[in-house]
Structure 1
Amino acid sequence: MRKDRAGYLFLLPWFIGMLFTIVPFFASLYLAFTDYNLLNAPKWIGLENFAEMFRDPVLLKSLKVTFVYTFVSVPLSLAAALGVAMILNRGIRGLPWYRAVFYLPSLLGASVAVVLLWRYVFGLDGIVNAFLGWFGIDAISWTSDPDYALTTLIILHIWTFGSPMVIFLAGLRQIPVMYYEAAAVDGASKWRRFRSITLPLLSPIIFFNLIQSLIASFQTFTQGFVMNNGGGGPANSTLFYNLYLYQQGFGQFNMGYASAMAWTLLVIIAVFTAITFFTAKYWVNYDS
């Protein structure tokens, strides 16, 4: 204990913070089985909130939007991050400057200012329509059209690939050059070297970035809230699961239903995380 005392001392702020987290954590679990609107005392209703979720067409729509957003944006974002990292890994001049430029959007992330900027870029008078106008293409209301609104948010997610890019770049720097030199001597093409050397040795980094990106994407909120003023429009095309949870809890004060949704989201994230860990043994390679 005497040796560990310093460690516990540094952990003390975290333990204190847990007191403000663990109580709401278990309170939400209790509320998930109640009918509670903040005005009256919670009324126990068992599994009714969870049963209602299967009958709620808006919730099912929000799940579909979240799944499409996650399973399209995450692979494309990781592919973009890896591609740029490989370009920067070639030792080009001004590498720190390029690295900072590509990382900057990731720092801004899904902030309100960035989403507002994105709404302007894809607006009727935005930069995208101005560019398309040079080729005689009529302006499209990207953010107001149900067919394109979610696509603009997927592009925004891809644009903020800076964080996984930096991690990929660090991983690429750890791959011994002698592997590539030996493969080149044997006549291996660039694609073969990428497929047989880069991907296997980088697979632990890909696995880490994949887990991080999946968890973050399932919890997307700000983009849908800001893009269409909190409504998830048009026609619920950007109504993410977390946004609908917010509407139920803080818009309609269905706190019991919102708590059930929150725990359902926890289970969904846990299931996909577990699947990713289970399949990792088939494609993630470690030096040992």
Structure 2
Amino acid sequence: MSRTNAGEAALLRSARRKRWKENLAGWFFVSPWMFGFVFLMLGPMLFSLVISFTEWNMVGAPKFLGFDNYIRMFTSDPFYYRALTVTFKYVFLTVPLQVVLAILIAVLLNRAIVGIRFFRAVFYMPSLIQGVTLALIWGWMFNDDFGPINFFLEQAGLPRVHWLTDPDVALYALVIVALWGVGSPMVLYLSALRTISSEYYEAADIDGAGRIRKFFSVTLPLLTPTVLFNIITSLIASFQTIVLAFVMTGGGPAESTYFYSLHVYRSAFTHFKMGYASAMAWVMFVMIVLLTGLILKSSKYWVHYEADGGGR
């Protein structure tokens, strides 16, 4: 009996050592991510939260102000509400257009025809151009004097458009540039389309449904999980847009493209009001969280999963 107990104890110790080694190996492999998360994301976020309650020019010691930065934001900043309005307008224009355009392109490319891989690559490759490079290319294309877009408009007998110098047009020009990256969500929709069972379409054919009816009754409902994901990611990215306005318009003309993120950047690195900029960044973070929460809350009414028989 004692030998049996000793053997069981030895097996238990061996299993514990094995489990400990497996856990240690797991932590070792995730440690680069953990290091980056703690020191490059969580740490700076907590630091900015503390700084948001102070006045700090990044040189001297921070001066505690309490909630003064947050109060000033909503009461005495002449640019705050302008930046907020421009950003919301941009977000609510860009996100729906990206979703609709990406779905339409994905549906058109979800065909077994000769050369379809070439066209998929053509629509996806522009999304690889991002940041400053994208802004410089489109800044040249939208140029009033020698831009190719105005050149082709003139060749067609149409008047020139002051894409980046007209306050009534500049924001829409940036929306067009944002749609240039529609290839990334298009790939996700295309992947989701390939997973839809043909049985649904066969059943729709038996019921006499046409292409449009099949799209709205079969394709679109089964794409809604991917739509939800793309809406949330596009929403977050659109709220954080800064490069296009910074490079192409500088926030002008007449502050028509003065995004919230650009206001945060200038407050921090032009006026050296790091505390105030941190407060604005946290307000934007809260707005994004609230909007994301509302979208997730509403998803139970319009997101359908194939595994659940088309419903939740």
Give the TM bin, normalised by the shorter chain. Answer: over 0.9
- CA distances 1:255-284 after superposition (whole Å, capped 9, x unpaired): 010000111111011011000100000000
Distance (whole Å) between structure 2 residues aligned to residue 200 and residue 23 of structure 1: 41
**Per-residue deviation, residues 147-197 of structure 1 (Å, max 9, x unmatched):** 111111101111210110000000000001121122112111211111110
What's 1:26 paired with? 46
Of 162, 166, 179, the match for 2:183: 162
Q: 2:256 aligns with which of 234, 237, 240?
A: 237
Identity of aligned residues (%): 47
TM-score, normalised with respect to structure 2:
0.88
Report the aligned-residue RMSD.
1.2
- Mapped to 1, the partners of 2:259 and 2:71 lie a distance apart of 20
How far apart are residue 6 of structure 1 and its match? 2.6
Partners of 1:5 and 1:27 in 2: CA distance = 30
Larger radius of gyration: 2
Q: Deviations over 1:41-78 (max 9, x none)?
A: 11111111011111222111111111111111111111
Q: Residue 57 of structure 2 aligns with which residue?
A: 37
Mapped partners of 1:159, 1:174: distance in 2? 26
**Letter paired with 2:202:** E
Quote the residue 1:60 is aligned against. 81
1:282 to 2:291 alignment: no
Tell me which of 40, 43, 67 is aligned to 1:47. 67
Aligned-residue offset at 1:105 = 1.6
The runs of 5 or more residues in structure 2 that have no matched partner are 1-19
1:114 paired residue number: 134
Does 2:266 correspond to 1:214? no
Matches of 1:221 and 1:28 in 2, distance apart?
19
Query: Superposed, which structure 2 residues align to 1:197-212 within 5 Å?
Result: 197-212=218-233
Structure 1 window deviating more from structure 2 (129-138 vs 60-69): it is 129-138
Of 238, 249, 270 in structure 1, the residue corresponding to residue 289 of structure 2 is 270
1:192 and 2:213 are equivalent in the alignment: yes
Q: Verify: 1:99 aligned to 2:120, yes or no.
A: yes
The alignment status of 1:149 with 2:170, answered yes or no, reads yes
Tell me the CA shift for residue 199 of structure 1.
1.1
Q: How far apart, CA to CA, are the structure 1 residues paired with 2:88 and 2:205? A: 41
How does 1:123-142 map onto structure 2 within 5 Å?
123-124=143-144, 125-142=146-163
Q: Matched residues in 2 for 1:183 and 1:133: separation?
A: 48
| Deviation at residue 139 of structure 1 after TM alignment | 1.5
Is 1:90 the counterpart of 2:90? The answer is: no
Q: Distance in 1 between matches of 2:35 and 2:287?
A: 29
* CA distance, structure 2, for counterparts of residue 26 and residue 114 of structure 1: 32
- Please tell me the residue identity of whatever aligns with 2:67: L
Shift of 1:14: 1.2
Question: 3-state DSSP class of the match of 2:59?
Answer: coil
When structure 1 is superposed on structure 2, of 87-96 and 199-208 the one drifting more is 87-96
Deviation of 1:98 (Å)? 1.6
Question: How far is the alpha carbon of 1:116 from its aligned partner?
Answer: 1.1
Partner of 1:226, secondary structure, is helix
1:17 pairs, out of 18, 24, 36, with: 36
Letter in 1 for 2:60: N
**Aligned 8 A contact 1:116 1:227 in 2:** yes
| Structure 1 residues without counterparts, runs of 5 or longer | none
Deviation at 1:5, TM superposition (A): 2.8
Structure showing greater relative contact order (alpha-carbon pairs closer than 8 Å, 6 or more residues apart): 1
Matches of 1:249 and 1:23, distance apart in 2: 18
The answer to whether the 8 Å contact 1:77/1:159 transfers is no
Q: Write the letter of the residue equivalent to 2:132.
A: V
